[in-house]
Amino acid sequence: MPIEPNTELNAALTSFEKQPGVTAQQVAQLRHALASDPGMLRDLNQEATAGQLRGFAVQPAATTPPSLVGSYDLSTGVVTLPAASFQATGTTSSADLRAVVQVQEMSVRFGNSRFQDPNNAAATLPVTQDMIDNLQGAINGSPVLAREVKKAATTADPGDTQTPHRNHLENFGFVSGMSAGGAYYGGDKTMRLPAARLQTPNYDPVDMTFVLGHEIEHGFNHPTTRAATQTLRTGAAAIAAQPGATHDYTGTIGAYLESSRKDEAEAEIAGWNAALSRLQQTNPAANQTDMLNTNNSRMRDFVQRDPTSGAVVPLPAPAGKQPLSFNADGSLNPTPDNVAAMGRQYFDRPPNPAPAVDRPLGVGERGSSDYSNYYGTFAIETAIGAERAHAQTHSGSVHPGVTHRMTINMGSLRLNENLLEREGIDIRINPGTPQPYYDSGQTPPALHHFDHTQSGANDHTHVPIAGTPPAPSALERLSPNDRAMFERLREQAPAHLPEDVLGRALAATKAAGIERPDQIASARLSGERLWVEGTTPGFHAAVEVSGNGPGLRELAQTPQPAQAQQEQQSQQEQVKATAPRAH
């Protein structure tokens, strides 16, 4: 039995029909659009019943700039649709109207959802109209982004496991548990964004447009990344089943990382095109120079200012490689050369700590990884799982490394055991036993061990061979209050800023008289300077992003009240509690 609009949704349609200027054709076309997707109609019925959707409206045709995906008002429950999405005659909806309704249905659900309170992990806060307006403003402000969002919301993923197949984009949500400007989750087809970045004054329309364009491309690429994941699992299982003494996972992991590099590079190109389209809405001649002049640091992964001529040019390429090739309008095509260049300029950026000139990257659950190790963590987990499952099958118990030598060329894959373990390696089979492996990048291949660090005593911590805890980082040596202030700055500041910049901002903030995390109102980037504003008027601090000055190391070395005695006691307890581990 087909799904029909329920009583409450019909009331919203009747209200729409009675509005001045609304035609019978528009009403018929909207009804046709609502019926185009049974799942969407079911959700709209539920939202109407809950009082979250109470009416529809048409944006005036003369509005400038015109809306591209519509808007949603939380207080009235009214969805306003672009006039251009309706056809002049007929009762059949246009593809654009169907796409707009899909996007707005997601907006209604998003607008009536909640996100984690940054000041209380046990509490949640409701989404505000400000957050809805900023999300939809980013999409409406970029024709390229609006086109891609509507396409993702109405294009089925051909390899989806559900019947009927879900579309590439089904939900908007929030990032949690990782450091990222945004994330796409293929399992539930959700675009996740940091709640703080959707709130004024933290909202940066150019940055949000770039992030949305980037993540939407991940959605379109999900079938390919899903296939790469399956190839990784199949390849690892085949290697684990080999009878020889050496089980070399380098090639299989390398293929997975290369697929991830291509996915990230294509997503960056999509982000650039979305942001450029936003600039060209108000300035059709906007180009690479205008993009760099936004002072958004993401643009420095694409272009730079020539130190001699001052002209904005693509980043240089290594000998024998091609730099980015821009179209005449400043946009980029995902050609093989452009994708390869973006892989070098974005995916291959080093992790923190690194010289500022190298544009260090901080991604992952703790914001301390680079992309090779962020994606490599899952690949290593898969290889360990295959190796241990093979040992179970053939010996009746888990004896990893006894008969076979798990082998990986870590250097050729840009993998680092320290970063992998800090990202959190999840060993599912016998997690209490470290996994031995041989690094074939050393001569002769050197024996090392991966530990379970996704949870437990070594949660997101590198475990050295001797089993002793690593020396605490400067951040770990801060007082609890200073660490809380640092995390507040990390939450408020642009996600791409490295730890050393935030450390210098923390030092400057404390020097300016801001002493607690609740006294930090915002941290925003203006040009090459990060400004931190206090909740008390007149209290603020600023640091140059590429400058120098006291930071985490200096703060960590500054004794806090009663800190010296506490540190001595802590060290004594640590010695008593730590025992060597056999590897």
Q: In this structure, what are the phi and psi dihedrals at residue 112, rounded to the nearest 5 degrees? A: -110, 20
What does each of the 583 residues of the chain score in pLDDT, given as a tens digit? 678 999 999 999 999 999 999 999 999 999 999 999 999 999 999 999 999 999 999 998 777 778 999 999 999 999 999 999 999 999 999 999 999 999 999 999 999 999 999 888 889 999 999 999 999 999 999 999 999 999 999 999 998 988 889 999 999 999 876 667 889 999 999 999 999 999 998 999 999 999 999 999 999 999 999 999 999 999 999 999 998 889 999 999 999 999 999 999 999 999 999 999 999 999 999 999 999 999 998 999 999 999 999 999 999 999 999 999 999 999 999 999 999 999 999 999 888 766 665 677 778 777 778 999 999 999 999 999 999 998 765 544 444 434 689 999 999 999 999 999 999 999 999 999 999 999 999 988 999 999 999 999 999 999 987 544 444 556 656 787 887 888 888 788 887 777 778 888 888 888 888 888 888 988 888 878 888 888 887 788 888 877 777 776 677 665 544 333 433 333 333 322 222 212 3
Within 8 A by CB and 6+ apart from 122, the residues are none
CA 2/CA 31 separation, integer angstroms = 14
Is the CB of residue 523 less than 8 Å from the CB of residue 531?
Answer: yes
Is 174 in a helix, a strand, or coil?
A: strand
Within 8 A by CB and 6+ apart from 184, the residues are 190, 191, 192, 215, 216, 218, 219, 222
Greatest alpha-carbon pair distance for the chain in Å reads 82
CA 181/CA 168 separation, integer angstroms = 20
Beta carbons within 10 angstroms of residue 294's beta carbon: 18
Which pTM does this prediction carry? 0.79
CA-nearest of 3, 15, 14 to 43 is 3
Q: Is the peptide bond before 65 cis (omega within 30 degrees of 0)?
A: yes
The H or E element that residue 80 is part of is strand 78-81
Q: In this structure, what are the phi and psi dihedrals at residue 115, rounded to the nearest 5 degrees? A: -135, 160
